[in-house]
């Protein structure tokens, strides 16, 4: 299920993940199929026989919640209730839930602009996430961040970044802070495949490798940076192999298998925690729709779209749970009705919530010398001293 690359010369880490199977294919669909085949060889329903039915149903429910949330966000966008950019996790649900299941509540998360599902799976309510998308004061960033800038220090979600790769050096910095203070928290930092070509990605991995920072970098390889394929933009399209340049253990995993993702992420996170070593995890997680809600994905052929639909991780998990006798068709319908009602309630909450006061516009714009001190304008003493 996972491929691993290890440094040949740096001191070997104490433990390792499942060993690599050879692969040539590197596109998301190819990767998913290959890893899917590995799962079939393992002969397991999701998670295998050791996984409890309760856990699998809980994962399925979370994936369904994210799916219905994102579908609702897409609809709200066309109704002009959401402004600005809006990028969805459709097709990425197994990755989202698997990654978040590997974290402790005290671990930190940095991610990019495709982050609604991560906020939900990190425990932030659908109401607060939807309200943020609607730009309302009850939102997770008090209505000033919008879809791309969800931030909740209490949940340890430290953004939400619209600048491609902006989060990567910040995550290395947070890991340095953890290491400096001597805590046992781990920092996880997500990015898309396109992000691995920017300078800050390499600088951050270098410093994390050099200084043994407790950070897990996760490349969510959906095969495309907007409309450009990985094969057209990366000289080494097997992105997890980039870890070798920094003597960093790295693994590629099937991002459509929630338990495989969780297990790979757990191994990475626990290694970072126990040994203070950075890690590079690549998930192969095809996105079902366009880059953002306004992208019709015309760069994809009809056949490609059909193949993606057939590989939908949510539908596949539903089928696997049914075949394993864990969740019947009726159970699934009941769960769906429950989740849809929760999303309806979140949308109603967002709709009824007030917009932020204009007077709070600068409250969260500038850093303050004193933590918790809210409001600074350019004319305030902090800027003139």
Closer residue to ligand TPP (CB): 138 or 195: 195
8 A C-beta contact, residue 266 and residue 296: no
Q: How far apart are CA 385 and CA 378, in angstroms?
A: 11
Closer residue to ligand TPP (CB): 87 or 122: 87
Q: How far apart are CA 290 and CA 81, in angstroms?
A: 20
Q: How far apart are CA 160 and CA 119, in angstroms?
A: 9
Kindly determine how many residues on this chain lie close enough to bind ligand TPP according to the rule CB under 6 A.
Answer: 14
327 counts as binding ligand TPP under rule CB under 6 A: no
Q: Quick one: which of 95, 204, 222, 256 contacts ligand TPP (CB under 6 A)?
A: 222
Nearest approach in angstroms of CB 243 to ligand TPP is 17
Q: Quick one: which of 13, 84, 162, 173 contacts ligand TPP (CB under 6 A)?
A: 162
Closer residue to ligand TPP (CB): 76 or 234: 234
Q: How far apart are CA 76 and CA 92, in angstroms?
A: 20
95 counts as binding ligand TPP under rule CB under 6 A: no
8 A C-beta contact, residue 153 and residue 146: no
Q: Quick one: which of 12, 37, 163, 377 contacts ligand TPP (CB under 6 A)?
A: 163
8 A C-beta contact, residue 94 and residue 321: no
Could you tell me which of 372, 371, 365, 369 has the C-alpha nearest to residue 384? 369
Nearest approach in angstroms of CB 164 to ligand TPP is 4
Using the contact rule CB under 6 A, the part of the chain among 5-13, 130-138, 222-230, 275-283 near ligand TPP is 222-230
65 counts as binding ligand TPP under rule CB under 6 A: no
Nearest approach in angstroms of CB 96 to ligand TPP is 12
Cα radius of gyration rounded to whole Å, the chain: 21
Q: Give CA 51 to chain center in angstroms.
A: 23
Closer residue to ligand TPP (CB): 195 or 250: 195
> For residue 183, what are its two tokens?
């805590």
Q: How far apart are CA 381 and CA 103, in angstroms?
A: 41
103: helix, strand or coil: coil
Looking up tokens 């075949």, which residue turns up? 323
The mark string for 224-263 relative to ligand TPP (x by CB under 6 A, - otherwise) is xxx-------------------------------------
Closer residue to ligand TPP (CB): 158 or 267: 158
Nearest approach in angstroms of CB 376 to ligand TPP is 27
> For residue 246, what are its two tokens?
């920094």
Provide the CB-side half-sphere exposure for 204 (13 A, CA). 31
Nearest approach in angstroms of CB 221 to ligand TPP is 8
Backbone φ/ψ region at 185: left (φ over 0), alpha (ψ -120 to 50), beta: beta
- DSSP assignments along 209-272, one per residue: HHTT--EEEEEEE-SEETTEEHHHH-SS-SGGGGGGGGT-EEEEEETT-HHHHHHHHHHHHHHH
The mark string for 290-319 relative to ligand TPP (x by CB under 6 A, - otherwise) is -x----------------------------
Residue nearest to ligand TPP (CB): 192
Closer residue to ligand TPP (CB): 215 or 326: 215
Nearest approach in angstroms of CB 366 to ligand TPP is 22
Closer residue to ligand TPP (CB): 226 or 361: 226
> Can you list the positions of beta strands (E) in 153-193?
187-192
The mark string for 173-212 relative to ligand TPP (x by CB under 6 A, - otherwise) is ------------------xxxxx-----------------
Q: How far apart are CA 264 and CA 257, in angstroms?
A: 11
- Between residue 14 and residue 43, which ones bind ligand TPP under the rule CB under 6 A? none
- Between residue 122 and residue 161, which ones bind ligand TPP under the rule CB under 6 A? none
Which positions touch ligand TPP (CB under 6 A)?
114, 162-164, 191-195, 222, 224-226, 291
């Amino acid at each position: 299920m996972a491929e691993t690359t290890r440094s040949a010369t740096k001191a070997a880490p104490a433990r390792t993940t499942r060993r690599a199977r050879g692969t040539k294919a590197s596109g998301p669909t190819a990767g998913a199929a290959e890893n899917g085949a590995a799962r079939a060889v393992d002969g397991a329903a999701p998670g295998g026989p050791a996984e409890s039915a309760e856990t699998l149903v809980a994962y399925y429910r979370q994936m369904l919640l994210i799916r219905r949330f994102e579908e609702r966000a897409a609809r709200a966008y066309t109704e002009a209730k959401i402004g600005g950019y809006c990028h969805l996790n459709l097709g990425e649900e197994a990755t989202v839930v698997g990654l978040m299941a590997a974290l402790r509540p005290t671990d930190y998360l940095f991610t990019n602009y495709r982050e609604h599902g991560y906020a939900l799976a990190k425990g932030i309510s659908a109401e607060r996430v939807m309200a943020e998308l609607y730009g309302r004061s009850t939102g997770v960033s008090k209505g000033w961040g919008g879809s791309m800038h969800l931030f909740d220090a209490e949940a340890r979600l430290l953004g939400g970044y619209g600048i491609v790769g902006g989060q990567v050096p910040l995550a290395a910095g947070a890991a340095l802070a953890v290491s400096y203070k001597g805590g046992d928290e781990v920092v996880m930092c997500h990015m898309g495949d396109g992000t691995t070509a920017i300078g800050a990605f390499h600088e951050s991995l270098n410093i994390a490798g050099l200084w043994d920072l407790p950070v897990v970098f996760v490349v969510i390889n959906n095969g495309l940076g907007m409309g450009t394929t990985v094969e057209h933009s990366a000289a080494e399209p097997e992105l997890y192999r980039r870890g070798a340049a920094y003597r960093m253990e790295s693994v590629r995993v099937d991002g459509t298998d929630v338990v495989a993702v969780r297990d790979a992420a757990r191994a990475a996170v626990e290694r970072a925690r126990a040994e203070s070593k950075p890690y590079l995890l690549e998930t192969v997680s095809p996105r079902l729709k366009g880059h953002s809600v306004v992208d019709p994905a015309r760069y994809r052929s009809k056949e490609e779209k059909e193949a993606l639909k057939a590989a939908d991780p949510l539908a596949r998990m539903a089928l696997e749970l049914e075949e394993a006798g864990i969740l019947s068709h009726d159970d699934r319908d009941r769960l769906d009705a429950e989740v849809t009602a929760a999303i309806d309630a979140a949308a109603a909450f967002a709709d009824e919530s007030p917009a932020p006061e204009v007077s709070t516009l600068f409250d969260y714009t500038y850093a303050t010398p004193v933590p918790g001190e809210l409001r600074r304008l350019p004319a305030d003493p902090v800027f003139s001293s």
